Amino acid sequence: MLRLTRTLPALALGAAAAVALPLALTASGPRAADAALASRAAAAVPAADSPAGFYYGTDSWPIAINSPAPYREPDIPGYPVYGGYIGMAGNWARWSGCGGNIAWSSADSAAANTNYTRYGKGIGTGVYWFMGGPGVDPHYNGRTAEASAWGAAQAAKTLRAMGSLHVTYKIVWLDIELPGIPPASDNGWNNVYTSPCSGRVRTVGVAAAVDRAEVNGYEAYLTAHSSYLPGVYSSPSIWSSIFGTGSASSIPGTYEWTYTDATSKLSKPPVKWCILGTSTCARFFGGVSRSSKQAVMWQWSGGGGVTNGIGDFDQINTNTIK
């Protein structure tokens, strides 16, 4: 995820909501009226995401967590409980020697894990791997078997990287996107490069079946060598541009994390996949819809190049996977 490599989450606790009710009860005159209005406004915003089992969280680059435990989601109305952190376990380009960042916050991970282990809230810490497609495989030959092996190699590297992290969430995310940055603007999903770090296209086009074979290889290795479950981070337009609209694009049984549609505004956090009073709702892909049990996460602000000036904010559904 380009947006995951560029942006991040954060936390800060506001006292206004906590003091509004006592002020309304003890003050008189204009101050009492103002306090009562503030109290009603605070009551109109859910203290936590809804329905039950939904949480707010952040991902990638750090966002300051300034509240005492249990930690609170920053910068959104009501300061609800901080429900989880998802960080980058690794980056194909960095692993291949091409450079690149690792978007990780130890502080945010620790806060999320405290809320999960001590207070039973949210998911704790999850991870994603910034995937390189078949076109940046140094052994690319156009065959599905090699693409599957390239996927398995990235899964093995993911699990090794996770060994030094305190991961509590069961889903490991395959970050599949077209970032538009060097060394390969499409991460090797749609073009074949002369070498992983060259930035020079050797062949235009990668067969959707070859792309899908890499995904299958990653998932097969992950499930065979760990108890983690595979999930995909992408968007409807990116997914179809890589995998087409045929059988290679169909993943109705795979857990998904989407960043479409994102918003730059933090004043209205989503409730059950939609921003109240708007048409802005999460859009999943590959045969998964908002009503599917495989729909488990939405990067509702900060993703897809939609900046909010703070970082990446997520909505997490724990009703299927916790």
Band (pLDDT 50/70/90 cuts) for residue 50 is confident
Residues making up the chain, counted from first to last:
322
When pLDDT is averaged across residues 53-78 and rounded to a whole number, the result is 94
d(CA 76, CA 311): 12
Look at 46 and 132; give whichever has higher pLDDT.
Answer: 132
Q: Tens digit of pLDDT for each residue in 243-288?
A: 999 999 999 999 999 999 999 999 999 999 999 889 999 999 999 9
Identify the CA nearest to 299 among candidates 268, 263, 247. 263
| pLDDT at res. 47 | 55
| pLDDT at res. 48 | 62
Q: Is residue 33 part of a domain?
A: no
When pLDDT is averaged across residues 42-70 and rounded to a whole number, the result is 82
| pLDDT at res. 36 | 40
Q: Tens digit of pLDDT for each residue in 182-197?
A: 999 999 999 999 999 9
| pLDDT at res. 39 | 41
Bridge pairing between strands 274-275 and 270-271: antiparallel
d(CA 241, CA 135): 15
d(CA 157, CA 169): 18
When pLDDT is averaged across residues 150-164 and rounded to a whole number, the result is 97
DSSP-H helix ranges across the chain: 2-6, 16-26, 30-44, 92-95, 106-119, 144-162, 208-225, 236-243
Q: Is residue 20 part of a domain?
A: no
Q: Is residue 42 part of a domain?
A: no
Q: Is residue 27 part of a domain?
A: no
Q: Does pLDDT of 42 surpass 90?
A: no
Domain with residue 181: its CATH number is 3.20.20.80
Q: Does pLDDT of 46 surpass 60?
A: no
Give the pair of three-digit tokens for residue 137: 């495989």
* Parent domain of 173: 2-13+47-317
When pLDDT is averaged across residues 151-160 and rounded to a whole number, the result is 98
pTM here is 0.86
When pLDDT is averaged across residues 201-224 and rounded to a whole number, the result is 98
Q: Is residue 25 part of a domain?
A: no
Identify the CA nearest to 64 among candidates 20, 125, 128, 107. 107
Q: Is residue 29 part of a domain?
A: no
Domain count, the chain: 1
Q: Is residue 114 part of a domain?
A: yes
| pLDDT at res. 156 | 98
Q: Is residue 201 part of a domain?
A: yes
